[in-house]
Amino acid sequence: MAIFRDSSDNPLNHDRSIEDRRRHRQLVEKSIKENLGNILSEESIIGESKNKKFKIPIRGIKEYQFVFGKNNRGVATGNGEEARGDKLGESGEDGKGKGSGNKGAGNSAGEDVYETEITLEELMDYIIEDLNLPNLDRKKYSEIITESAGKKRGYQRHGINPRLAKKKTVMAKMARKQGKKRALNEIVSNEEIERFPFREDDLRYWKVKKKPKKESNAVMIFIMDVSGSMDNTKKYLARSLFFVLSKFIRRKYNNIAFEFISHTTIAKRVNEYDFFHKAESGGTYISSGLNVALDLINEKYPKEAWNIYPIYASDGDNWSEDNEKAMAAVKEICALSSMFGYAELLPSTYSTTMYYRFNKEIDCENFTSVIVKEKKDLWEALKIMLSKELEEE
């Protein structure tokens, strides 16, 4: 039996496109959550254009329609071999539905899939809206004092062309011309001055008083285990995680720096390309990467002037002889950071990883850890990290 609902009081009834846009947006959000790792896995953290567009695969929107005969039991003809309770008319000749898992080519229609494009800014808006984040301007930045151009205060005879005070220059020339006319009138009356060009002495420039300006600064230090167990899939997940976090931090700070540290049993600073593409082998000492980050902070990024965001990515394996050193390094780096994030990507299932030990022994309020056991967990991991960072405001 068909049921018709009275929608005369529905404000959307007069414009069906509003409901279509809402459904389209829901599909886009669902697709972003499911494919975030694939969408961003090749993106560059440094120098990425905010207007770049990403293609999002979306399943087609099915429209409601009447289908005759589906609501009735119907009548089918058997061949005389049927038993009580058998269903007729719903399968192929072999009793199995066509195209529903049989070997060989199926003959049933597939789902429509199409692509839509969104910009990086729109992608970030989806993520932030899903988090229901507060106003980012409430952040109390760490600040350094720099000099910036202030208000114009008076004039001077020397300066740069962009600061030329044209009106004041013309007035200086006119004053000089009037003075010359008065001098000539005392000698010969009614003599006209035909040509009177500008001179360098006529030029006047704005005098700009410098005023102190507060600059907000942040540094993101990406640390990653690049030992043999960190394959390309794990690195792609790390890149996606780092990428979104970096774009979020860019929205909050006027000046942001990036550092990349890779390690096995030893650590070194590298560029972004080597960080994600250079494969290495050997064991893992987590403390090696954290200690290089600590040295870098002490050398270039004092806590008084910078908001510091170290983010560490690993599959959770570590040599047991390094565990205590790693714990000490995490506590030390937390003391210097606005937030320290630990992300464990596709961890091994045969052992207890560092994720569980960090959660048990690290009680610093600005420490946050996430675990990504499969690609679809990346969205929830980002929500945890970003929400934790906002708690520190």
| Per-residue pLDDT band at 92 (split at 50, 70, 90) | very low
For residue 364 the two structure tokens come to 């610093």
* Residue 370 contacts residue 344 (beta carbons within 8 Å): yes
What is the model's pTM? 0.63
| Per-residue pLDDT band at 208 (split at 50, 70, 90) | confident
Q: Is 305 exposed, middle or buried (0-12, 13-18, 19+ CB in 10 A)?
A: middle
* Residue 312 contacts residue 284 (beta carbons within 8 Å): no
Q: Which residue has the tokens 């989806």?
A: 126
| Per-residue pLDDT band at 89 (split at 50, 70, 90) | low
Helix (H) or strand (E) holding 213: strand 205-225
- For the segment 330-353, the average pLDDT, to the nearest whole number, is 89
- pLDDT, one tens digit per residue, over 35-66 is 777 777 767 777 656 677 878 777 655 555 55
Q: Give the residue from 32, 236, 37 showing the smallest Cα distance to 117.
A: 32
* Predicted confidence (pLDDT) at residue 242 exceeds the cutoff of 60: yes
Cα dihedral 264/269/275/277 (nearest 10): -80
Long-range contact set of residues 288-292: C-beta below 8 Å, sequence gap at least 24? 288/263, 288/264, 288/322, 289/223, 289/224, 289/225, 289/261, 289/262, 289/263, 290/223, 290/326, 290/329, 290/330, 290/332, 290/333, 291/267, 291/329, 292/223, 292/261, 292/263, 292/267, 292/268
| Per-residue pLDDT band at 154 (split at 50, 70, 90) | confident
For residue 171 the two structure tokens come to 């007035």
- For the segment 305-316, the average pLDDT, to the nearest whole number, is 93
Of the listed ranges 13-27, 64-78, 316-330, 349-363, the least confidently predicted one is: 64-78
Interacting residues of 312 by C-beta distance below 8 A, sequence separation 6+: 223, 224, 286, 289, 290, 340, 341, 342, 343
Residues 268 and 335: their CA atoms lie apart, in Å, by: 22
Domains and their CATH numbers in the chain: 16-96+108-131 (no CATH), 136-142+217-391 (3.40.50.410), 145-210 (no CATH)
- For the segment 323-344, the average pLDDT, to the nearest whole number, is 96
Predicted local distance difference test score (pLDDT) of residue 137: 42
Please spell the DSSP secondary structure of 145-192, one letter per residue: EEEEEEEEEEEES---GGGB-HHHHHHHHHHHHHHHHHHHHTTSTT--
CB 296: neighbour CB atoms within 10 A?
17
- For the segment 182-202, the average pLDDT, to the nearest whole number, is 69
* Residue 295 contacts residue 267 (beta carbons within 8 Å): no
Residues 245 and 236: their CA atoms lie apart, in Å, by: 14
Question: How does the average pLDDT of the chain come out, rounded?
Answer: 77
- For the segment 259-268, the average pLDDT, to the nearest whole number, is 95
Predicted local distance difference test score (pLDDT) of residue 266: 94
Hey, is 212 helix, strand or coil? strand
Predicted local distance difference test score (pLDDT) of residue 176: 85
Residues 127 and 121: their CA atoms lie apart, in Å, by: 10
Q: Which residue has the tokens 């980012």?
A: 136
Residues 185 and 166: their CA atoms lie apart, in Å, by: 29
Of the listed ranges 13-27, 103-117, 171-185, the least confidently predicted one is: 103-117
Residues 182 and 177: their CA atoms lie apart, in Å, by: 9
Predicted local distance difference test score (pLDDT) of residue 301: 93
